[in-house]
Every structure is written in structure tokens, then in C-alpha cells.
Amino acid sequence: MKRIKRTSSRILAVGILDKMIPRVLSCIFLIVIWWPCAARLFDDGLDTYIKNTMKCNTVPGMTLAVVKGNETWVKGFGMADMDTDRLVNEETLFVIGSLTKAFTSALLAVLLSNNNKGISWTSKLSDILGNDFEFIDPVRTSQTTLRDILSHRTGLANTLGSLCGYPSGLTRKDMTRRLRFLPEIQPFRETFVYNNMMYMLAGHVAEVLGGDTWENLVKTKLFQPIGMHSTTVLTNPSQVSGGNTAKPYMIKEGKLVNGTERLYQIFPEEPAGAIMTNGADMVKWMKFILNKGRTETNLSLVEQNIFKECFQTMNHLDPQFYDHQISKPTFPVEDVRLGYGYGWSTSFYRGYTKFFHGGTLMAYKSLIWLFPDHNIGIFGSANGPATDESDRALNSVFYYLSDVLLSEAKWINETIACTFPKPFASPFQRPAKIDPDQVNPVKPILDKYVGRYGSVLMPDMEITKNGDTLMFRCNRIAGILHPTHVENEFKSEVTEPWEVVLSSRYGSNETELTTVVFKMDGQKANSLEWQLGYSLVFIRNQGFFDEYVKSMGAESRFGWRIFVFIMCLNIVLI
């Protein structure tokens, strides 16, 4: 689901990277490890193609796992750690981001298969969670089902809280109670609004049904019976640099540099994107799915009628969320998206049914494709460079492999793997940005804005002054507030971490600016409205936990304050 709402960014990044490639080429070395079992699939032609694709897209390391019937291949390419020259091998762990969502829905399928309380995909959340559950309006509160939250059709906004980093002390139950403040951005059940918080909620439902933490449940009900013994959940940032893990890399001034380790903790949204796994274990996962919920020892973990719903289209995909459909005559083949189930999308690739999902967590990008009618599965993950180049690399490798596995004539080649969507379609060019609000800015007195502001949905926002510059910080995200010609209105520019700066650039060398408006009470600001892709009100001198207590008893006070918002910076976590 990588492409959702990133419409332009995916293609756009092509522009800058084209310019960077010559410099980048001199800095990376791609080394390939051979695995004897891989010999039949990974022949010289495929091998050269993958190396070339990684090189021109600046991908430091990649793992690939393939299943076809009872044959499997796993192979590592490139670097897991560029400082020590450690290579990716078939055991190297990668963070798979939103590929985690399919584990959360499969876990629920297991729990629903074994419940005697009549709970199903269409049970109301209010019946399962009772008083802990409420959404912004009575219709959603009384009607929302597991099917709605898993297929991204609640129409509610996401938050960027996990990107900032929530304060410790928050629990999933507590976050679930706060979801009543999430504003609506689309009508209920009408369209597709991708929402990681809804998978946090689904993870919490699993906790209530299974009587344990999501982390323990996903381990005991899935990883262990399927035999995924190396698979784990990313809960501590140090996991991305320890052991046999592919370390995250991002691109800065044309060079691959270390990713920002502290970002790799997304509590409480782990059920939406925090599984770490490797090619060898993902072979077992793909076989489990292709065998309709049976393990290698022929143990059935789920009722088939319950499990199959995960792969059925429950929500159409709104074309406005995509850069393009791959279809004739623009492209030589078609890969037409049909819709979304529970952590799985469906498309028809060259007429074959394909289940797929993408995953991003900061620098890591992953992809899984299954052709269920042919018992074919492909998994891949890359540890950089935190731009859409890794998407292009993975997709280019997957199209090539799919054609080999399906015995179709190849349409993609080494040239196209470095230029896609060119030569078939033009990359979307973002027009040069001139922000009229920034012309002739007022010279504001900054002291009246300085302070700490809190929200019920996001970590606290700290506004400080550095000389004549107003600065903001929301835990791990920080930047500058530029004055505009409108009084009390600023444009926020994220300056750290670099991963977020990269993802908000959309192919130009400027960071996307978003609006922050202060609301005044006499000479001092008493609240601010941050539009980091959506608008959210922060109240002066209220902490994340204080606000929660007060607002729980005074919803109307917040109901109107939380503005309808549009999510467009949900880029580094999908």
C-alpha cells in the first residue's frame, strides 16, 4: 500500500535521484552471496539484473524469498552493514513495516476461529470493547466493525504520533480510548483512508480476545506454529543495529548514511508495522498463506471461511490515491488494482490474481506478492535509501521474477528498472514552489508563542526561540517556524530527522512547508493548530496525559476543536 497518498512522491523522487546517481555509484559496492539452493532461479541473467537494479536505485542491501509450489529460494544481496562490510544473507533481519498488517489480521482470524462467543469480522467494536471504545460520532461508535477498521474504510484521520514518538506510560488500551478524538476526513464506509491507528486498534482487539499482549499473541499463535523462529517485533530501536540485522541507510547529499536509530520504535502502533523478519521465515509465511492457513506440518491454524475474507475486496481503492494504474496502452502489461481486504490488496497482473502489500518503516521498504492460483509467492525487503528508489527497485525485481515464475515474456529490462515509469509514462514533476504567504512576512514578536502545548492525540509540541527564529519540536521531529504575511500564522519546515525531511521533499530540494496558526488570548498564544498534513489543536500548558484526563470528561470542548484534516505526510510509516 505504499502508493497510497504518496501519489506524486513515488514518481517524483525519480527526478532528484537521477541527478544523484553518478555520485552515488562511486560510493556503493554491491556484493552478492550465492546460496546453493538458489542456483536454479538466481541464474546469471537474474543476478546481473538484480545487481544493476539495486545499483541504479541506490539500494544498499536486499533480501529476496521466492516460493513456487514446493520449491523455495532465498537469497541476500548487497550490504547489511556498510561499516563492517557485513553482507545480507538468508537469515538477515529486515523491518517489514506494513507487511505486519497481514499478521494482525491473520492473528484475528486465528482468534475468531477459536472463539465461542460468536464474534466475527462483522461484530461491532462497541460489543467487543464496551465502554473503552468510542469514535467521534454516534454512528461510527455504534456501527464500526472489525471489517471496517481492517479495510481502511472508517474515513477517520491517522495521527503522526508514532513518528514523533509517544511518551512512555501510554498503553494500547489508553490510546484506544483516545481514538474518540480522531476527526473524520471522509464519510463513513465511503472510501479508502489508510490508517495505521486502526491496526493499533485491531491489535488491541486481539489483546482483548486473546487475553495477552499483541506481541505475545503474534508469537505464540503465528510465529511459533508456522516455524518463524527468527521473527520478532521491533520494540527497541537498538534492534535495527544489533545481531544479523540489515542496518537502515538513507541518502544524504548523494551518499548513503546511517539511518536515525531512535526513530525505530513506533509504540503503540506495532500491530500496523513493527515485525522484523528474514527471507527464510517469510518463505514459511508465504507457504502458510498459499496453503490457506496450514503450516508445513499440515496443522490448520484458522477456519478457512474466516481466513479467506482477509483476501477479499472489502473496499475499493480510490484512484485518486494512486500515481497510476499500470494498464494498456500506456504500459505494455496491466497490473490493475481491484481493492483492499485485511492487510492485503488484490490486483490482476497480466490476468493472474495477485495479493500484495508494501511496507515502509523509515529507511526500510518491503514488498510481498502472492499468485494464489499458481502457488507463487515473492517477498523482498531493502534497507535503504529511504526514498522511493527502493520501491522502484523492489517492484522492478518483482515484475521480472513474476514473469519468470509465470512463464510470461518479460516486459521489464535493466534499463526500465532504473527509469520506471519512464519510458512508458513521465514522472510527475512538482512545480516550483512559491508560497505567497511567505512574501513580505510580518516581523513577529516571538515571545508570545514560546511555550509547551499539548494534544490528546499527539505528543507535546514545544515552541522555542533561537535568536530571531521560532523553532518547534514534537519529540523526535523538529524544525523551524517561518513567519508569513499573516499575523500569528507560520510555515513549519521539518529539519530533523533527515528521514522525514527526505520524505517531505517530493523530488525538489525544498521541504514541504505546512501551516501552524497560533490562537491568541490577549498578548499570549493559548493554542496552536498544526497542519502537518492535517490540522490538530494543541492547548498551551496541557500535557499529553493531563489533557487526556480533562478531555475525557469534556468531549464537546475538543470535538469542535479538532479540525477535519487531510493526511498527506503519512509517508515514513506505511
Ligand X SMILES: *[C@@H]1O[C@H](CO)[C@@H](O)[C@H](O)[C@H]1NC(C)=O
The cell for 388 is 522511493
Taking the complex as a whole, the smallest distance from the CB of residue 356 to ligand X amounts, in Å, to 24
From the CB of residue 268, how many other CB atoms can be counted at a distance below 10 Å? 22
CA distances 108 to 158, 206, 359, Å, are 21, 6, 20
Taking the complex as a whole, the smallest distance from the CB of residue 353 to ligand X amounts, in Å, to 21
Total residues binding ligand X (CB under 6 A): 14
Closer residue to ligand X (CB): 69 or 351: 69
Closer residue to ligand X (CB): 372 or 559: 372
CA distances 260 to 202, 366, 464, 466, Å, are 28, 18, 23, 24
x/- map, 181-220, ligand X, by CB under 6 A: ----------------------------------------
Peptide bond into 427 cis (omega under 30): no
CA distances 139 to 143, 144, 145, 149, 562, Å, are 6, 8, 12, 14, 18
Pick from 8, 186, 241, 375 the residue near ligand X by CB under 6 A: 241
Taking the complex as a whole, the smallest distance from the CB of residue 34 to ligand X amounts, in Å, to 21
Q: Which residues pair with 465 in a beta bridge?
A: 470
The one segment of 1-9, 58-66, 131-139, 412-420 that binds ligand X by CB under 6 A: 412-420
DSSP state of 439: S
Taking the complex as a whole, the smallest distance from the CB of residue 432 to ligand X amounts, in Å, to 7
**Is 508 a binder of ligand X (CB under 6 A)?**
yes
Residues in 420-459 that interact with ligand X by CB under 6 A? 423
Closer residue to ligand X (CB): 258 or 312: 258
Question: What value, to the nearest 5°, has the Cα angle with vertex 508 and ends 506 and 509?
Answer: 115
**Is 129 a binder of ligand X (CB under 6 A)?**
no
Distance between CA atoms of 175 and 197, rounded to whole angstroms? Answer: 9
The one segment of 219-227, 411-419, 512-520, 537-545 that binds ligand X by CB under 6 A: 411-419
Pick from 21, 32, 257, 425 the residue near ligand X by CB under 6 A: 257
Pick from 7, 258, 313, 495 the residue near ligand X by CB under 6 A: 258
CA distances 209 to 117, 187, 270, Å, are 10, 29, 18
From the CB of residue 292, how many other CB atoms can be counted at a distance below 10 Å? 13
Closer residue to ligand X (CB): 330 or 415: 415
CB 39 within 8 A of CB 418: no
Distance between CA atoms of 6 and 491, rounded to whole angstroms? Answer: 21
Closer residue to ligand X (CB): 413 or 541: 413
The one segment of 219-227, 409-417, 486-494, 527-535 that binds ligand X by CB under 6 A: 409-417
Taking the complex as a whole, the smallest distance from the CB of residue 386 to ligand X amounts, in Å, to 15
The one segment of 230-238, 362-370, 397-405, 410-418 that binds ligand X by CB under 6 A: 410-418
Pick from 327, 413, 426, 429 the residue near ligand X by CB under 6 A: 413
Closer residue to ligand X (CB): 236 or 415: 415
Distance between CA atoms of 113 and 119, rounded to whole angstroms? Answer: 9
Residues in 531-570 that interact with ligand X by CB under 6 A? none
Taking the complex as a whole, the smallest distance from the CB of residue 86 to ligand X amounts, in Å, to 11
x/- map, 273-312, ligand X, by CB under 6 A: -------------------------x--------------
How would you class 22 by CB atoms within 10 Å of its CB: exposed for 0-12, middle for 13-18, buried for 19 or more? exposed
Closer residue to ligand X (CB): 224 or 415: 415
Question: Closest by alpha carbon to 269, among 186, 364, 195, 358?
Answer: 195
Residues in 62-101 that interact with ligand X by CB under 6 A? 69-70, 83
Residues in 357-386 that interact with ligand X by CB under 6 A? none
CB 458 within 8 A of CB 160: yes
Closer residue to ligand X (CB): 110 or 200: 110
Distance between CA atoms of 282 and 377, rounded to whole angstroms? Answer: 10
Distance between CA atoms of 334 and 351, rounded to whole angstroms? Answer: 8
How would you class 436 by CB atoms within 10 Å of its CB: exposed for 0-12, middle for 13-18, buried for 19 or more? exposed
SS3 371: strand
Closer residue to ligand X (CB): 298 or 305: 298
Pick from 115, 120, 330, 415 the residue near ligand X by CB under 6 A: 415
**Is 131 a binder of ligand X (CB under 6 A)?**
no
Taking the complex as a whole, the smallest distance from the CB of residue 390 to ligand X amounts, in Å, to 19
Question: What order do you get walking across the sheet with 232-233 strand by strand?
Answer: 94-95, 275-277, 232-233
Taking the complex as a whole, the smallest distance from the CB of residue 298 to ligand X amounts, in Å, to 4
**Is 523 a binder of ligand X (CB under 6 A)?**
no
268 Cβ contact list (under 8 Å, min separation 6): 162, 166, 170, 171, 172, 175, 200, 203
**Is 526 a binder of ligand X (CB under 6 A)?**
no
Position 460, amino acid:
D
Pick from 416, 537, 571, 574 the residue near ligand X by CB under 6 A: 416
Taking the complex as a whole, the smallest distance from the CB of residue 397 to ligand X amounts, in Å, to 15
**Is 468 a binder of ligand X (CB under 6 A)?**
no
Taking the complex as a whole, the smallest distance from the CB of residue 41 to ligand X amounts, in Å, to 15
Distance between CA atoms of 385 and 389, rounded to whole angstroms? Answer: 7
Closer residue to ligand X (CB): 49 or 285: 49
Pick from 414, 462, 493, 546 the residue near ligand X by CB under 6 A: 414
The one segment of 3-11, 318-326, 415-423, 470-478 that binds ligand X by CB under 6 A: 415-423
CB 374 within 8 A of CB 352: yes
CB 300 within 8 A of CB 274: no
CA distances 192 to 99, 135, 315, Å, are 18, 18, 7
List residues near ligand X by CB under 6 A: 69-70, 83, 241, 257-258, 298, 413-416, 423, 508-509
